[in-house]
Amino acid sequence: MATIAKRPYRGVFPVAPTIFDASGNLDLDGQRRCVDFMIDAGSQGICTLANFSEQFVLADAERESVMHAVLEHVAGRIPVIVTTTHFSSAVCAARSREAEAAGAAMVMIMPPYHGATFRVGEPAIYEFYRVVSDAIRIPIMIQDAPVAGTPLSVDFLARMAKELANVRYFKIEVPMAANKLRGLIEKGGSVIEGPWDGEEAITLMADLDAGATGAMTGGGYPDGIRQIMDPFLAGRRDEAVQAYARWLPLINYENRQCGLSACKVLMREGGVIKSDAVRHPLQPLHPATRAGLIEIARTLDPVVLRWGR
């Protein structure tokens, strides 16, 4: 399945939430509407089965259902990144092969970890990514995030990019992300095909100044993130700074108050989906927090609040 966009992938690639009905079951019709909204709102690609997709509450069969529903419905309109993270090298490689066969443009993978204490050292992490890289032909995005509890040095990331054929993209979400992006670009050079920002774009301006070429944010307002990314990548930094200042209160509210619920709440408020349910033991937003999110969003008139009306 060919995608319209060509490598290197750049721009706004938000995480698509997994849509549940009010009883907590998969809502694949809602999933398709979610995808259509995200494309209409300017997403240049999307990522599915990420942490902000609640991948950790899905059974394996549900993961497959969501992945195939998203890829089949997108049908090559934009590139789709599928998260295939697993502690097992073999399972991660198998998930990645399945994603490639289904039409994924890229896979995103965290280093192997389990719980608070199960980790492996750099030699085993290197072999983990080598096994996956050897199993597929599409690029791998390494997700460097605190949740894994696994330090990944700039030198180590650059070495993997130079030595492993498909390790080419890096989503940097650790503290001082801009410094790490800058160092990675300096150490890795041309093999760093995609130095990307994450963490709901809370550090986006600093990361763009450091050389980031992509942003993987929440899925609620890709049109707003485009207002920052597009002018910056076109060389109009002043315009990007002004847009960042406009959207930062909403970005901050999502990042610090709401987390993965934010995009679902906005999608439900705008008629994109019928239910903003998260799967237990996750809890819905407090009504006051929900109201605060919507109040800030309304001042910005994002597409999400009028797409389904």
Q: What's the number of domains the chain is made of?
A: 1
Distances (CA, A) of 219 to 109, 121, 133, 162, 169: 19, 33, 28, 32, 20
Assign residue 99 the CATH number of its domain: 3.20.20.70
User: Has residue 205 been placed in a domain?
Assistant: yes
DSSP bridge partners of 170:
142, 195
Q: pLDDT of 55-107, one tens digit each? A: 999 999 999 999 999 999 999 999 999 999 999 999 999 999 999 999 999 99
**Pairwise CA distance, residues 249 & 239, whole Å:** 17
**Pairwise CA distance, residues 65 & 77, whole Å:** 19
Residue numbers of the domain that contains 178? 11-219
User: Has residue 304 been placed in a domain?
Assistant: no
Q: pLDDT of 275-285, one tens digit each? A: 999 999 999 99
Please tell me whether residue 168 adopts helix, strand or coil conformation. Answer: strand
Please list the alpha-helical segments (H only) found in 41-85. Answer: 60-74
Rg (CA), the chain: 18
Whole-model pTM over 0.95: yes
Q: pLDDT of 234-261, one tens digit each? A: 999 999 999 999 999 999 999 999 999 9
Say whether pLDDT at 288 is over 50: yes
Contact 199, 174 (CB under 8 A): no
**Pairwise CA distance, residues 307 & 309, whole Å:** 6
Say whether pLDDT at 148 is over 50: yes
User: Has residue 144 been placed in a domain?
Assistant: yes
User: Has residue 243 been placed in a domain?
Assistant: no
User: Has residue 27 been placed in a domain?
Assistant: yes
The whole-number pLDDT of residue 5 equals: 77
38 is in an annotated binding site: no
As a whole number, mean pLDDT of residues 143-166 equals 97
As a whole number, mean pLDDT of residues 34-53 equals 98
User: Has residue 177 been placed in a domain?
Assistant: yes
Contact 157, 144 (CB under 8 A): yes
Task: pLDDT band for 3, please (50, 70, 90 cuts).
Answer: very low
User: Has residue 127 been placed in a domain?
Assistant: yes
Active-site annotation, residues: 171
User: Has residue 292 been placed in a domain?
Assistant: no
Say whether pLDDT at 232 is over 90: yes
The whole-number pLDDT of residue 309 equals: 86
The whole-number pLDDT of residue 4 equals: 57
